[in-house]
Amino acid sequence: MSRIGVDLGGTKVEAILIDDNGIVEARERIATPRFEYEATVETVARLVETLDQSAGRRCRVGAGTPGAVEPSTGLMKNCNSTWLNRRPLLGDLTRRLGERVRLANDADCFALSESVDGAAAGAHTSFGVILGTGVGGGFVAHGRLIQGPNGISGEWGHTPLPYFRSDADELEGRLDDRPCYCGRVNCVETFLSGPGLARTHNALWGEAREPRDIAAATDPNGRRTVELYCRQLARSLAQIVNVIDPEIIVLGGGVSEISALYRRVPELWGPYVFSESVNTRLLPAVHGATSGVRGAAWLWPADYNSDSNH
Ligand SMILES: [Zn+2]
């Protein structure tokens, strides 16, 4: 039976109708009403109703959002789309659409999508990573998202960059401390996001370049920036391997398109992993930019009707 997935992004809201086999039957997309909470709720509701009409019935709805629901209050938190914070988004969507809505963090939806039928299909455990405007992550075990009492599972983007300034380039380039919007300093996100990559390049070489341009660079400066990025990513992912030991780590988001990551990072992460050999595999996302909306839909699994444990 088909279900609806919604990806509530900072610039656009995308929604799909998807069947049990992962075939997308209909797709809708509209600009996000930025800084207008009530209009955002209404926009999501109307997209869902449009896809209900395509399906000929009221479907179950999964929605991926920035940030998370604070379990103790039901209010949104940690959203970079700040107009959602401290709002009862799940409650308001349920009131508008009925008891058929599930919400999850957008990076969690990405991880779930790649686990269901993407790069991590068939793996018992996987960690999905978004390397984009921000940095997020999600952990899937045995087909289920791991979600905890704080609603922040997988949020390694706001942990400190491990071994900062242990690397010669970080010293030679005199990378300054990086305050993060979250109030902390030197969060992984401030180095491994697209803007973080551009900031590192500027600090090393005094050149203002777009992350996309650095990612595709063939000149020595650009390549050396990417090499430092690989070392930072290797140190950061090694901590994930140490804690949850996933079979597969899947990378998504704009920066994940740097093909060198998949060769260099596994060459570099060994010294930081508490094991003589590292069997974890690092892979690019299969579904790319559509993983968020697909994973949101999979918040209602294909076997939902036959498995009462969900
Ligand atoms: Zn932070």
Residue 80 is predicted with a pLDDT of 84
Asked which of 29-33, 144-148, 169-173, 185-189 is least confident by mean pLDDT, the reply is 169-173
pLDDT band at 310 (very low <50, low <70, confident <90, very high): very low
The answer to whether residue 40 scores a pLDDT higher than 80 is: yes
Looking at every residue in the chain, the average pLDDT score rounds to 94
Ligand 1 centroid to Cα of residue 220, in Å, is 30
CA 47 to CA 42: how far, in whole Å? 9
CA 4 to CA 27: how far, in whole Å? 10
Helix, strand or coil for residue 98?
coil
Ligand 1 centroid to Cα of residue 255, in Å, is 18
- Confidence (pTM): 0.94
Residue 170 is predicted with a pLDDT of 85
Amino acid at 196: G
What is the share, in percent, of the chain residues with pLDDT greater than 90? 88
Ligand 1 centroid to Cα of residue 107, in Å, is 15
- Which of 63, 145, 144, 139 has the alpha carbon at shortest distance from 106? 63
154: left (phi over 0), alpha (psi -120 to 50) or beta: left
- Which of 265, 228, 272, 271 has the alpha carbon at shortest distance from 250? 265
Ligand 1 centroid to Cα of residue 197, in Å, is 15
Mean pLDDT calculated for residue range 192-204? 96
Residue 10 is predicted with a pLDDT of 86
The answer to whether residue 92 scores a pLDDT higher than 50 is: yes
The answer to whether residue 305 scores a pLDDT higher than 80 is: no
Residue 307 is predicted with a pLDDT of 45
Residue 168 is predicted with a pLDDT of 86
Ligand 1 centroid to Cα of residue 156, in Å, is 9
The answer to whether residue 306 scores a pLDDT higher than 60 is: no
Q: Quick: pLDDT tens for 50-60.
A: 999 999 999 99
Residue 308 is predicted with a pLDDT of 43
Q: Quick: pLDDT tens for 209-236.
A: 999 999 999 999 999 999 999 999 999 9
Ligand 1 centroid to Cα of residue 155, in Å, is 10
Q: Quick: pLDDT tens for 243-297.
A: 999 999 999 999 999 999 999 999 999 999 999 999 999 999 999 889 999 999 9
